[in-house]
């Protein structure tokens, strides 16, 4: 099939197709929608992207992304400085914030250990985490990492490094999700839930 639009529009489609969750067809629909709604959508989006490009930065304390440094979470006086919640990615931090799951502070590793993908300890912010864990006000490190092989390998690696820090190291419970039916759960989830059972 020949080109149906000029190179500028094709470039817009190609760039949109690089976004997670957007394939070529979805990208074409998104591009067409943006072009049709130029005044109401495309111009404000263009402006917002430019502001983000100019102002968004990585927090030097925790690794979150924000327009201020240290970030909004790190400078919030209502946060509990004795708790550091360790996450692999900023998306995980945002998910915990949406759930209002903690009033602690965060530490973003940047990824999880993955020897097959060439991601080693030097590629993560583990050294900075260990340094933060040794601060006098820190009493608990919560490892909020994915329940994958890489996530759990990273959790074990960090736990070993924190042996001499005077902190309690905990992890998220793994098991039956709220509203979940046992019949629909996989065997790994069921066995984890059984191992981590609590008093009723």
- Which pLDDT does position 12 carry in this prediction? 94
Q: Per-residue pLDDT tens for 134-149?
A: 999 999 999 999 988 9
Instruction: Confirm if 188 and 153 have CB atoms less than 8 A apart.
Output: no
Residue 50 to residues 10, 47, 78, 191, Cα–Cα distance (Å): 21, 5, 32, 48
Q: Which two three-digit tokens encode residue 80?
A: 């509990």
Q: How confident is the model at residue 3 (pLDDT cuts 50, 70, 90)?
A: low
66-103 pLDDT, tens digit per residue, is 999 999 999 999 999 999 999 999 999 999 999 998 99
φ, ψ for residue 125, nearest 5 deg:
-95, 45
Query: How many other CB atoms sit within 10 Å of the CB of residue 97?
Result: 13
Q: List, in order of start, the domains of the chain with CATH numbers.
A: 63-169 (3.40.1360.10)
Q: How far apart are CA 190 and CA 43, in angstroms?
A: 50
Q: pTM value?
A: 0.84
């Amino acid at each position: 099939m020949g080109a149906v639009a000029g190179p500028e529009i094709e470039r817009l489609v190609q760039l949109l197709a690089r976004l997670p969750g957007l394939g070529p067809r979805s990208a074409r629909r998104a591009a067409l929608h943006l072009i049709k709604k130029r005044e109401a959508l495309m111009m404000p989006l263009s402006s917002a992207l430019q502001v983000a490009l100019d102002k968004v930065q990585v927090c030097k304390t925790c690794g979150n992304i924000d327009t201020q440094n240290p970030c909004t979470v790190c400078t919030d006086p209502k946060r509990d400085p004795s708790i550091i919640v360790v996450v692999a990615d900023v998306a995980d931090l945002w998910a915990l914030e949406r759930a209002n799951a903690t009033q602690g502070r965060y530490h973003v590793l940047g990824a999880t250990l993955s020897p097959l993908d060439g991601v080693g300890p030097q590629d993560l912010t583990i050294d900075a985490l260990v340094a933060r864990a040794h601060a006098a006000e820190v009493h608990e490190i919560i490892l909020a990492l994915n329940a994958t092989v890489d996530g759990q390998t990273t959790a074990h690696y960090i736990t070993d490094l924190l042996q001499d820090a005077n902190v309690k190291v905990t992890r998220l419970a793994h098991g039956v999700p709220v509203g979940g039916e046992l019949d629909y759960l996989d065997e790994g989830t069921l066995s984890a839930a059984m191992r981590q059972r609590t008093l009723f």
